[in-house]
Structure 1
């Protein structure tokens, strides 16, 4: 395909960033500028000669600007195949001039939704003419250049300078691909708003998803896999993807995944005391609350200091220098915090590879949204696990009622278990995990593995007994048999929290009573696969 000389440009933008500079660059190359409404005014105010779209079409803008570019003299000029004799004859017969360049960005639909506008205002900010021009120009990219992003204006000007006022087919093809992505993302935002906000459909008949690529990562879970980070287009909350990376080398796919797991869990404690979460391979290996952040970190580390090596740390308070010093005593991949003081930043600066992520506000653990998981040939979609059970909703099912301390430990263990891969068993005592068993094929083995980790910790730190002694134990799902509960009792647990609902609940309750355990049912399961 040949290069195309840019003789006429149609500009119609909501975002005026860089518009005047682009207008001057085009005018300097004697490009005729055709424009609409506010875009035309901005260009004229900058001293540029502009032809109104109404002059081009012979029709005035009407219906409050809803109808202005939806005209054969616009779309004929965009869609005509220039070297097709029939197309050329139609252009001549109907006095349709070719349009070589289209610069369009769309009505600010997402911004309108985010500011809490009324339904009528949201509907008015659904662009019709803009996407139509974008799609027409992009389809005919053999002859027409389409630019939808102000960030690409400099690339356009550079292309014109290098090619003496022309654009190459390769450049136009890349612009067309980006243009279709822009309209697809725009339509997906509208689709999502109609489905979720306007119609309250959690699972619409057609699911539209979108995302802007933030960066291409070094590789995926393994070096032979490719990976990239995307964030949703339009309204979305804050999280690891939006965190500011203060220092450290590039984040990997696994770093993002693990840091997200750590942030999700520590956010459960965002309104609680200073709390630290240590994650390894997407599972917490130590979680603790304390009077200070450094106390919480040390207690979390003591749960499983072996697994913590090379782990991810997340905290629910601004990082201070003393806690930062403690964290850097062992190899740590990533630290995530709402903020960090100068002393903490100075400590981490000495560890040039350690990534420090500042998240600002922590995510709301009760927020809604969808979780999407690809499977072979499709997508599994579910609502987020934002379920919470108040202490008042706990049902005591044993003869013995838990003490106030046991109930607090139950709550802590239950909160952590929600974020441990199933089958999950979590022992907790005095606001700290004592042992965590994750991802086993049966619950008894998870209970035993967690107890083993607790015994190893006791040996490492010279304690008289493991912290599982006198602890509360949480199970993310019911005990199908009494064996898992008995394993926890053998480890020294005195209280149990679990969903209940097994066909053998009576058997498990009887075993708990015989062992002198206090047990509460939550009625809510927290599988995490």
Structure 2
């Protein structure tokens, strides 16, 4: 199918100019509205206002521009005699291509709490154009997002305006992905705070992992890893790395305030946790908890890693090191081993909900963001604990919370000295913790 006409109505103009110019070079008739029409005119490219098709100006502060049979007839008409005769009867031109970029609804929700501003960023005409063009993919090419501009431009150049059935269907698939994501975001905004319990989520980004938990399992990560971390060094992150990294971040969230803390995790369980006056002392105390299990572990701290600490860490094999920052010479030293994963953690919003798939379904709950304080403790002994003992207990609670049940954490001087976890019996968990403390 050769593109002969295109309707363009976009929010983001970034990357649009070369597309406009190439379409013009190929002799494609351009239709447009509002700001996009003005943009095209400033490029010196001829463009036909949609109003000349509909006979109506843009009305209601721009809320209605393209919603008209003269537009949607040209999009939805199949290229067969009956439909083409109707187009001719009503003087409706065929539209072979639609390029749309929707109002940034999710970005607006993230930027403001003003419901009026948010409502105005719910795109109606754009979504309608996307769905109509995608439905009629056998005869229409639809570009539904600025993220598709480059792919469209490359194909436009390579194929001189000719788009195969495969290309058209692929763009339609992507278009319905865009429109469905958009609708889910709008629903979730309206649904927040209501009694309606619905499981509707849409995550735009995904990364194919080397494999899942085991090599015979496929794995995909859905989410924006770069919103949480800057990856400074290392190999591709695996499924198991991600699970451990998440556990490490959740644990260290308990120690964001106060003195330097260091934690060492293995298979999501903390095998070393300590808090000290310096990051080096915290590392040394955390490692002393269990020097054997630390091998190949996930390391995390709440403090910038300096050279002295890096030199000590560098003596041990590990998978991942996470810190809020690294001194330049420390980073240079740690980066010498190419496979080591070094992550600089950013400030980010912790997810309010957590999920788990089971029994062909999903369970959802509030994320456990509770951090126990002295006010949560109840003294049941004849002697009240000293302030130091209370501090030790709160430290122990933080550690034990992030061990697999049944779990026991033994603490001394803000250091995990023994842990037992994943045991059917609490007695066995305690025995394991005592054995660790003695070793």
TM-score band, normalised by the shorter chain?
over 0.9
2:328 equivalent to 1:332: no
The answer (yes or no) to whether the contact 1:245–1:355 under 8 Å persists in 2 is yes
Residue 12 (structure 2) aligns with: 15
What secondary structure sits across from 2:100 in the alignment?
strand
Matches within 5 A, 1:121-270: 121-196=117-192, 200-201=193-194, 204-231=196-223, 242-270=228-256
Gaps of 5+ in 1: 233-238, 457-529
The answer (yes or no) to whether the contact 2:354–2:364 under 8 Å persists in 1 is yes
2:358 equivalent to 1:375: yes
Matches within 5 A, 1:381-392: 381-392=364-375
The answer (yes or no) to whether the contact 1:27–1:48 under 8 Å persists in 2 is yes
Equivalent-residue separation in structure 2 for 1:214 and 1:428 (angstroms): 40
The answer (yes or no) to whether the contact 1:240–1:359 under 8 Å persists in 2 is no
Match of 1:444 among 427, 433, 437: 427
Deviates more, 1:293-302 or 1:204-213: 204-213
1:174-198 Cα shifts (integer Å, max 9, x gaps): 11111111111111111111112xx
Matches within 5 A, 1:412-491: 412-456=395-439
Residue 343 (structure 2) aligns with: 357
Cα drift, residue 339 of structure 1? 1.3
What secondary structure sits across from 1:18 in the alignment?
coil
What secondary structure sits across from 1:10 in the alignment?
strand
Cα drift, residue 241 of structure 1? 5.9
Equivalent-residue separation in structure 2 for 1:54 and 1:290 (angstroms): 70
Q: How many residues are treated as equivalent by the alignment?
A: 439
Q: Given the superposition, is the C-alpha separation of residues 249 and 51 from structure 1 closer, same or farther in structure 2, using an over 3 Å criterion?
A: same
Equivalent-residue separation in structure 1 for 2:226 and 2:392 (angstroms): 28
Cα drift, residue 210 of structure 1? 0.7
Equivalent-residue separation in structure 1 for 2:99 and 2:267 (angstroms): 46
What secondary structure sits across from 1:434 in the alignment?
strand
Equivalent-residue separation in structure 2 for 1:389 and 1:256 (angstroms): 26
Gaps of 5+ in 2: none
Equivalent-residue separation in structure 2 for 1:295 and 1:114 (angstroms): 40
Equivalent-residue separation in structure 1 for 2:319 and 2:369 (angstroms): 28
The answer (yes or no) to whether the contact 1:240–1:263 under 8 Å persists in 2 is no
The answer (yes or no) to whether the contact 1:339–1:360 under 8 Å persists in 2 is no
Provide TM-score, normalisation by structure 2: 0.96
Equivalent-residue separation in structure 1 for 2:268 and 2:55 (angstroms): 63
Equivalent-residue separation in structure 1 for 2:47 and 2:221 (angstroms): 41
Cα drift, residue 290 of structure 1? 0.7
1:467-494 Cα shifts (integer Å, max 9, x gaps): xxxxxxxxxxxxxxxxxxxxxxxxxxxx
Cα drift, residue 258 of structure 1? 0.4
What is the RMSD computed on CA atoms of the aligned residues? 1.6
The answer (yes or no) to whether the contact 2:102–2:145 under 8 Å persists in 1 is no
Equivalent-residue separation in structure 1 for 2:432 and 2:355 (angstroms): 31
Match of 2:3 among 3, 6, 15: 6
The answer (yes or no) to whether the contact 1:426–1:436 under 8 Å persists in 2 is yes
1:362-410 Cα shifts (integer Å, max 9, x gaps): x56xx56111111122110100011233203311101232222221110
What secondary structure sits across from 1:330 in the alignment?
coil
Provide TM-score, normalisation by structure 1: 0.80
The answer (yes or no) to whether the contact 1:105–1:130 under 8 Å persists in 2 is yes
Residue 56 (structure 1) aligns with: 53
Matches within 5 A, 1:112-127: 112-127=108-123
Equivalent-residue separation in structure 2 for 1:157 and 1:317 (angstroms): 46
The answer (yes or no) to whether the contact 1:258–1:279 under 8 Å persists in 2 is yes
Cα drift, residue 240 of structure 1? 7.3
Residue 288 (structure 1) aligns with: 274
What secondary structure sits across from 1:161 in the alignment?
helix
Cα drift, residue 295 of structure 1? 0.7
Deviates more, 1:90-99 or 1:258-267: 90-99
1:192-230 Cα shifts (integer Å, max 9, x gaps): 11112xxx13x6333210112342111111111111222
Equivalent-residue separation in structure 1 for 2:366 and 2:424 (angstroms): 25
Equivalent-residue separation in structure 2 for 1:439 and 1:241 (angstroms): 32
Equivalent-residue separation in structure 2 for 1:435 and 1:408 (angstroms): 17
Equivalent-residue separation in structure 1 for 2:197 and 2:371 (angstroms): 29
